[in-house]
């Protein structure tokens, strides 16, 4: 690689020519070393595409609402821990731990999150994930409402069936 008068000064934005590999000014359309026109657009080799890791908000919501099944651990790529959560979900302990982890994720700084999970950009929750979470929350609310109605109305149904059986 050449470093001469045609190379950009240190501290100025630079890129590398995709043909010869020399360091050139980031605004250059043609490489001064080899004369090859440089690619433009988001796929330039000089600008690495930031890796979008797991979203902090998505992980937090998954931990709060589905933490008992370890879904947030699978989302974060921690399959072993996710399997442990799934294995012990019947105890209720993973649900409590998932709730605490979800709150911890929510109050964590973006910088700490990026450092731990390799996220270099903050991205909003996707529409698909948000839709799934809303559907899951609706199912949970429906299930709780069904259980409550069975608990309170279950005794009345038994009394009605017993009185019908006695009258026949």
Same domain flag for 119 and 63: yes
Residue 139 pLDDT grade (very low, low, confident, very high; cuts 50, 70, 90): confident
Same-domain status, 111 and 146? no
Same domain, 138 and 168: yes
Same domain, 105 and 144: no
Beta bridge partner(s), residue 30: 37
Q: What is the mean pLDDT of residues 110-135?
A: 64
Q: What are the tokens at 48?
A: 């690495």
Better-predicted residue by pLDDT, 41 or 66: 66
Half-sphere exposure of 121 (CA within 13 A, CB side): 8
Same domain, 110 and 134: no
Does pLDDT of 48 surpass 70? no
112-116 mean pLDDT? 83
- Total structural domains within the chain: 3
Rounded average pLDDT over 37-56? 62
Residues 120 and 141 placed together within one structural domain of the fold: no
**Residue 41, pLDDT score:** 56
**119 and 132 together in one domain:** no
Are residues 60 and 14 part of one domain?
A: no
User: Does residue 130 sit in the same domain as residue 120?
Assistant: no
Whether 105 has a pLDDT exceeding 50, the answer reads yes
Instruction: Provide the residue range defining the domain that includes 115.
Output: 54-124
Pick from 103, 36, 102, 107: which is nearest to 73 by CA?
A: 102
pLDDT value of position 97:
94
Q: Is the whole model's pTM more than 0.85, yes or no?
A: no
pLDDT in tens, 57-102: 889 999 999 999 999 998 998 889 999 998 998 898 999 999 999 9
Strand partners, 23: 16
* Same domain, yes or no: 150 and 138: yes
User: What's the rounded mean pLDDT across residues 37-51?
Assistant: 56
C-alpha span between 55 and 124 (Å, rounded): 7
So what's the pLDDT on residue 138? 64
Query: Which position has the higher pLDDT, 149 or 117?
Result: 117
**Do residue 62 and residue 111 come from a single domain?**
yes
Residues 108 and 166 in one domain: no
């Amino acid at each position: 690689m050449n470093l001469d008068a045609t190379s950009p000064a240190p501290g100025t934005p630079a890129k590398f020519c995709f043909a010869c590999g020399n360091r050139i000014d980031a605004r250059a359309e043609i490489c001064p070393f080899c004369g090859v026109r440089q690619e433009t657009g988001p796929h330039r080799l000089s600008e690495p595409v930031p890796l979008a890791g797991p979203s902090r908000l998505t992980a937090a919501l998954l931990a709060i609402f589905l933490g008992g099944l370890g879904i947030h651990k699978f989302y974060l790529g921690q399959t072993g821990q996710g399997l442990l959560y799934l294995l012990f979900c019947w105890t209720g302990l993973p649900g409590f731990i998932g709730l605490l982890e979800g709150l911890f994720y929510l109050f964590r700084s973006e910088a700490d999150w990026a450092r731990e999970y390799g996220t270099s950009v903050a991205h909003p929750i996707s529409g698909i994930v948000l839709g799934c979470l809303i559907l899951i929350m609706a199912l949970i609310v429906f299930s709780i409402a069904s259980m409550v109605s069975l608990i309170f109305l279950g005794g009345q149904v038994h009394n009605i069936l017993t009185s019908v059986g006695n009258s026949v």
